[in-house]
Structure 1
């Protein structure tokens, strides 16, 4: 869909997109804009005509603002004036997303980029275009229109090929995470998810993959995963991926909650809260897709990824409120709420990572609590860590990727809520501070890595109720872009 090239001599363009920014000479509050000089010479008279159109169209140059001008019988046949704001990566991402929607019924468009365009701008534009044009449909009906081909015109394409390749990979893996999350749970069993990962990893021969089924999980003591998946006819799985380049100096473990459908178990959810529970594996989708992306980009960091997968169903074999569960490594949890199941599978994965993998850094992503949305709204994840440097690095990567997170405290006063009379821990206290207490529970399984662990509660931002910027209605693939940014920054 997306290519970068110079302008061929005497080339006839059908749709030409030209960038517009707020005028440097504009007074404060003035909405005037100006055409941005492009890297390539435009067809005769095009630049002058576009410059004359800008004030007539009353453009402000804000990111994503678009006006279309028809030119019957001439080339290009249509001019699209595209606002790019301050020209930063975020502004270009918004511009690309708006353009993907405005030009959805076009066969092909050409974008003339500014002469001083930065790699960050190219990346923002490419990701905005590719992510906003995402569609997920399971129907025999014709797909709705979507932008098919885009050429980016620059003077020196080779200078931006690497950036564009990174943007393509990032968008491709984000779209994969969206596909996995959007897929209905009538299809998406734990085995189906494991099969999709196996298929995606087949093109990356250096990526090692192991899938544990119920028998192996039982033999090795993964009691949390087995308990949560025990009520389903589709047994649980644990996917383990390992990207281990020879030049890696840092070992990161990524863990993602993978509940392929959550009824709430015997503590059953009301129907309105249950109908979107196909998204309860968005954390697993994010860490798997980020690992595939890191391998495709050959990032020089070792990554081991764990995706504990289970379907939390209601049946005679479902785990009960009041059960005591023995996790990997022997820690026991008393649970009085089977709808607090995500932390039980994560506890197994965290304990396994600490005991067997011994990484330098430990990160988990989970659609863990509704309290996340109450505290921070629909677009922002909650971040927890005792490591200030790790938290700052992740927050910087999240912001650069165009996602959002806010650091919340791990209040030690709340640890007493986790006390149980019959087990080591109480998994689902009812005293409130739901997202904080869930994070404190997970921390109990991090052992010697407690000061190198970070938890992201990303239930709310994993799903969008409508199109907004680069997001499309449905699964967002939250976390893939942020993780890839962060992984690329590790030396």
Structure 2
């Protein structure tokens, strides 16, 4: 079992950073104006208290002041070891998030850091800084001797006190924690991460956060006609599951319901339409959509979401075996629609379709959103730092893209172009699952048939499912991309305005 590494603990203090005792690292802000560095909140006082010419250091380094730029100043004191001078750029929310991530990376293997960086901003800046610090600290390991590096254990946010700051801190912890959980689930190797294991994680989240949980095993899936999930999972030694989590706000049993569906392919070999070996190396993260949904459900209570939210995760391993789904087979989805399987590596849409059909039949969603690392075509289109999405309502598209930009998980809308609809044609079934290019669009058109007339969005995050290197709050490897964007939308003011009713 991998050892769990925890994110830093955070505390607020009304005292300036240099007055805090037992701190190994001070992190102080700066900007650049008219080509000259300007010390930010608490930095000049810390310079005087420590006897360090921090302004001179910045001048000698010819800093640019961009968000997340770091100058490390070693200190030989018995407690204080480092001073970090961190750029705040134009002091946007993004700059504060990047500054937090920079502090996290520069503070690895230290016990404590005190910082006045967010003291110069508003509540949104404080939240963003906390999110960046948490996610920049992310570590996952399965090493016999412990992790190569450990995140700083304690972060004191200096010069900040009071209920307003406490609320902003709690929001940051919830958003950052959801990103951490999603990334952790996506990073767990598939020799542990079976559909049953994923269901166990959902049950743990439900217990921690007061959610209702239900899990369908292979027998219940068969009795209720979930042919897509069963078909994809039939070649694996670990049978599939359908996971359901339900969040109900206090006094909100009649509130509108949003349904989130997350692809839970715990490993994707491609099935009999097998992937090249090099393409399989990242496929432990093909359940990122499911991880996003589970992480979102776990954070809704802490963020005070006013809506009912149901999360559905169709979980299966797409394996190669004597009983694997064959090209040319036909599966019958929940509700009766049929799909001819021309490519067993286009399996994600088959499991999503079952869960979406169930949502329409049983849950009366006001809004339906599916999340999946679905198509390589999306990575070709958008690279690795931006997720793609489709929506059948402009108001929903605007709400999601705005929330995503604010959260630091940008999404780019692509068209549900009807001219490609005829590529879905099958001679023997309602549709085929591999209609060809443009691959991201035709996959979305396939799923649209399972959305009915409900406001619906399809998030194809295959583009952003892996971070190619450490960059700001992203750490190299499975990214867990998506929960911050969805949570920002779901917990914002009147999230269904203009979309429903």
**TM-score band (shorter)?**
over 0.9
Gaps of 5+ in 2: 1-8, 495-501
Deviations 1:259-289 (A, max 9, x none): 1111111111111112221111000000111
Matched, 1:485 2:488: yes
The worse-fitting range, judged by mean Cα deviation, of 380-389 and 105-114 is: 105-114
Count of equivalent residues: 481
Deviations 1:435-468 (A, max 9, x none): 000000000111131xx00001111211112211
- The DSSP-based 3-state class of the residue aligned with 2:11 is strand
RMSD (Å), alpha carbons? 2.0
- The DSSP-based 3-state class of the residue aligned with 2:209 is coil
Q: CA deviation at 1:11?
A: 4.1
- The DSSP-based 3-state class of the residue aligned with 2:55 is helix
Look up the match of 1:400: 406
Q: Distance in 2 between matches of 1:455 and 1:78?
A: 46
Q: CA deviation at 1:155?
A: 4.3
Aligned in 2, Cα 1:102/1:426: closer, same or farther, shift over 3 Å?
Answer: same
Deviations 1:325-380 (A, max 9, x none): 11111111111111111100011111111111111000000111100011111111
Matched, 1:4 2:8: no
Deviations 1:81-120 (A, max 9, x none): 1111111110011111112111213221110246542111
Look up the match of 1:383: 389
Matched, 1:108 2:112: yes
Report 1:221-370 matches (<5 A).
221-245=225-249, 246-247=251-252, 249-370=255-376
Conservation of the 8 A alpha-carbon contact between 2:25 and 2:107? no
Matched, 1:92 2:96: yes
Look up the match of 2:181: 176
Deviations 1:131-181 (A, max 9, x none): 011111112213223222211112434321111111112212211111111
- The DSSP-based 3-state class of the residue aligned with 2:355 is helix
Q: CA deviation at 1:54?
A: 3.1
Q: Distance in 2 between matches of 1:92 and 1:10?
A: 23
Q: Distance in 2 between matches of 1:188 and 1:382?
A: 26
The worse-fitting range, judged by mean Cα deviation, of 353-362 and 10-19 is: 10-19
Aligned to 1:467, which of 455, 467, 470? 470
Q: Distance in 2 between matches of 1:14 and 1:233?
A: 50
Aligned in 2, Cα 1:175/1:51: closer, same or farther, shift over 3 Å?
Answer: same
Look up the match of 1:418: 424
Q: Distance in 2 between matches of 1:44 and 1:289?
A: 44
Aligned to 1:198, which of 203, 217, 222? 203
- The DSSP-based 3-state class of the residue aligned with 2:457 is strand
Q: Distance in 1 between matches of 2:248 and 2:153?
A: 36
Q: Distance in 2 between matches of 1:422 and 1:359?
A: 31
Conservation of the 8 A alpha-carbon contact between 1:40 and 1:154? no
- The DSSP-based 3-state class of the residue aligned with 1:417 is helix
Gaps of 5+ in 1: none
